[in-house]
Amino acid sequence: MKNNKIEYLDFMLSEYKYTWEQQEKLFNRIVRIKISNNNLATNEVIPTPNYMIFVEHPHVYTLGKSGDSQNLLLNYIQLQAKDAVFFKTDRGGDITYHGPGQIVAYPILDLENFGMSLRQYVYCIEEVVIKVLSIFGITAMRDPIATGVWLDVGNPKARKICAIGVKSSRFVTMHGFALNINTDLEYFKHINPCGFSDRGVTSVEKELGSKQDFKRAKELVLEKFAEVFEAFVV
């Protein structure tokens, strides 16, 4: 039995470690249900839940499992001076930054509820962000050689506005994406974002020249996520 309902959880401003732990609890809950369902008759199967966590993190750099730690250009003392912390994670992708003014979204979904593969899932996340940015009057696009959402792909001004890094097991996802709204872009100068040393990073605030309504931006992301995934968010 498929379930397209997504439970929305807003963690507001929350430490990365705590949020990761909460993700894992929800992720493991879904996986346990799926394993249990394999031993049940069809009419006894329990629908798997889906969750969406929104959060802003205090300054933190995170490295994907296949990332290169040399893409962090700060040592431990310099991290402390920047009031930032560093975590190695089990998501895909390389290094990225999270901080205030950035919408970090962690969809914890059973992709079988939505009839999609992991590749389709990442494509749909990109589509959500592209649709949101179009409402702000920003033309964004995919890059054929790099995951995420970009502006001015194919020329020297190419810059990333949304990073994506996910983990999946038994078609259950965790981790997610980070969209720069009013983000302090100075913190990106201390990494090679997502492993690229020759590309820039931007935000909605920078592109439009003024600070944006963060609450409204969150509402738009949630609205477009429900639309693209054909989901019911509660």
3-state secondary structure of 167: strand
Asked if 193 contacts 183 with a C-beta cutoff of 8 angstroms, the reply is: no
What's the DSSP call for residue 96? E
Cα within 13 Å of Cα(121), Cβ side: 25
Per the residue annotation, which of 158, 162, 194, 221 is the catalytic one?
Answer: 194
How far apart, in whole angstroms, are the C-alpha atoms of residue 161 and residue 181? Answer: 8
How far apart, in whole angstroms, are the C-alpha atoms of residue 113 and residue 5? Answer: 9
Per the annotation, the verdict on 124 as an active-site residue is: no
How far apart, in whole angstroms, are the C-alpha atoms of residue 203 and residue 188? Answer: 11
Q: 214-229 and 118-135 are packed helices; what angle lies between their axes, rounded to 10 degrees?
A: 140
Strands 5-13 and 51-56: parallel
- Of 233, 159, 165, 224, the C-alpha closest to 198 is 159
Q: Which of the residues are catalytic?
A: 194
